[in-house]
Amino acid sequence: MNLLLSLNKALTLWPQREAVVEGELRLTYQQFGRRTAALARALAGLGLAKGQVAAIIAPNVHQYLEAYYACAALGVVLNPINFRLAAREMAFILADSGAQVLLAHTDFAQAAALALADCPQVRHLIWIGEGPCPPVGREASAYEELLAGQPGRMPPCPELVSDDLAHLYYTSGTTGKPKGVMLTQGNVTFHALSAVAELKLTDADTWIHVAPLFHLADAWATFAITWVGGRHVCVPYFEAEQVLAAIARERVSISNMIPTMLNLMVNHPRVGEFDYSSLRCILSGGAPIAPETVKKIVDTLGCDYIQTYGMTETSPYLTVSILKEHLKQLPAAEQLRIKSRTGRPFMGVELKVVRSDGAEIAPDDQEVGEIIVRGPIVTPGYWNRPQATAEAIVDGWLHTGDLAVIDAEGYVNIVDRKKDMIITGGENVYSTEVEYALYEHPGVLECAVIGVPDEKWGEAVKAVVVCRPGHQPGPEELIAFVKDRLARYKAPKSVEFVAEIPKTGSGKIYKKGLKERYGK
């Protein structure tokens, strides 16, 4: 089982069908396949071989889809990097992954160049796009020029099996240091096939890539949509009106978007001017969502809604809020309540909600336990982190760290997180990572970072700070300080200065108390 099977099927059954759309660019599957093969040959010519790592920093451009498939064909592990990260964060990931080739979009040329200064093992840079490129002190090529010199047929490819690594996604851990989540050819392939079945995908579907392709919220669709010969519409950057117009113009039928995006779209002043009759389903996850918001999405866009829950470690989906047939007979308000929940297990996922002793909780929608899962979509572990792997995967079960209830129908709903993770605008922010950045400021004596409810972002990052004697940094100073060290979305939206931060009996910061105080 390997990812190239999906592209080969599309090339065999739908060679002349439109495969990829980006602005004025339109590619058939045959053209897309030839470009992908040319990229694979170019990467092989640079010395990349099975098991080695190539990284990519880019928006949602069509070259991203080509990179996913070209690397998969060679058995090269693709490391998608969040383009919102600061240069030093990019450098850490590049160094930790051992990437030897970097594909970088010229929109992020400055950050990529700064990151490469600390990564001598990256021996070749491939520039995507047409913007100016700073010198990087190593071999560099332009993407399109590199492809132009290659034949459009696949090079000799190694034998690929399910256990071969395909992707390396970095996600922050509770220590604040990013960990590389390994996903195999089998993980991603099984997830794609499960999505085809669960979402009833066909060659009539058009998917719009709006959520970032460096994130599994959208990346999985690269393979599932290709498997059925569907169309990919690439939107480099999210802008509500442009997405609404693209849905209408390209007759988009399905996509996944984070709640923040959907809120901006359904509340846009021009939302009523476009035709969404082609849209059959919107999936969403990555942040909490209220039933009232789901109702507005359904009423405005005129399509079905599916809430999803997943993790990078699970390729990503663990649950979907697809209704069982008999639940479709319930009153509309009750159906809406269920659709807004975390959902029932995704195909191929074995899921339990357990107490601390490992026993399953009662399916009464009241008792709270931790979600643990196993199945063919679960990561084999973290890149070069055997201890972290052993802590997360116990007796074959991945411990998610998410606390939830489960009802008699098997639908779970997350109520809290063991880790102090904040989900803001669909992006995961770990409080300790922000705290470590704040502690670098000479005026910070003690701090705690929490998530507080926010109408626009789902949750907003808030810092509670005790200043050192003789220091009085202002909120904007601390926010700017963090933005210089971390991705901008990780910086606090607000800062509260206090004389003392509450502690538990053991002396630990009492974050639950802080959330109760500031989360109203």
Closest to 48 in 3D by CA, of 136, 158, 147, 131:
158
Choose one of 167, 194, 221: the last residue of a domain.
Answer: 194
| DSSP H helical ranges for 305-370 | 332-339
90 lies in a domain? yes
> Domain tally for the chain?
2
Q: What is the DSSP letter of 360?
A: B
Spell out the alpha helix ranges (H) of 318-385. Answer: 332-339
Cβ-contact 157, 75 below 8 angstroms: yes
Q: Which domain holds residue 176?
A: 4-194
Residue 224 lies inside a defined structural domain of this protein: no
Contact between 337 and 295 (Cβ < 8 Å): no
Alpha-carbon distance of 355 to 167, in angstroms, equals 32
What is the pLDDT, as a whole number, of residue 504?
57
Burial category of 389 from C-beta neighbours within 10 Å (exposed 0-12, middle 13-18, buried 19 and up):
middle
d(CA 431, CA 254): 33
In this predicted structure, what is the pLDDT of residue 263? Answer: 80
Tokens 């996509």 appear where?
Answer: 255
Residues found in the chain: 520
Contact 262, 286 (CB under 8 A): no
Quick check: is 106 in a domain?
yes
- Identify the pLDDT of residue 172: 63
Look at strands 139-142 and 124-128 and give their pairing. Answer: parallel
Q: Which two tokens stand for residue 86?
A: 């600061």
The pLDDT profile of the chain, 520 residues, written as one tens digit per residue, is 899 999 999 999 999 999 999 999 999 999 999 999 999 999 999 999 999 999 999 999 999 999 999 999 999 999 999 998 999 999 999 999 999 999 999 999 999 999 999 999 999 999 999 877 888 889 999 999 999 989 999 999 999 999 999 999 998 644 457 899 999 999 999 999 999 999 999 999 999 999 999 999 999 999 999 999 999 999 999 999 999 999 999 999 999 998 778 888 998 999 999 999 999 999 998 655 667 778 989 999 999 999 999 999 999 999 999 999 999 999 999 999 899 889 999 999 999 999 999 999 999 999 989 999 999 999 999 999 999 999 999 999 999 998 889 999 999 988 766 667 788 998 878 777 888 889 889 999 889 999 999 988 999 999 999 998 899 999 999 999 999 999 999 999 999 999 988 875 445 578 888 988 998 6
In a domain? residue 337: no
Helices of type H across 103-200: 109-116, 143-148, 185-198
What CATH number is associated with residue 179? 3.40.50.980
Whether residue 287 lies inside any domain: the answer is no
Residue 235 lies in a domain: no
Residue 259 lies in a domain: no
Domain boundary at 162, 194, 226, which? 194
Q: Is residue 245 part of a domain?
A: no
Q: Is 302 helix (H, G, I), strand (E, B) or coil?
A: coil
**Which residues does residue 182 pair with via DSSP β-bridges, in sequence order?**
168, 381
Which H or E run includes 462?
strand 458-467
CATH of the domain at 479: 3.30.300.30
Q: By CB neighbour count within 10 A (0-12 exposed, 13-18 middle, 19+ buried), where does 332 fall?
A: exposed
Question: Cβ(371)–Cβ(348) under 8 Å?
Answer: no
Predicted TM-score (pTM) of the model is: 0.85
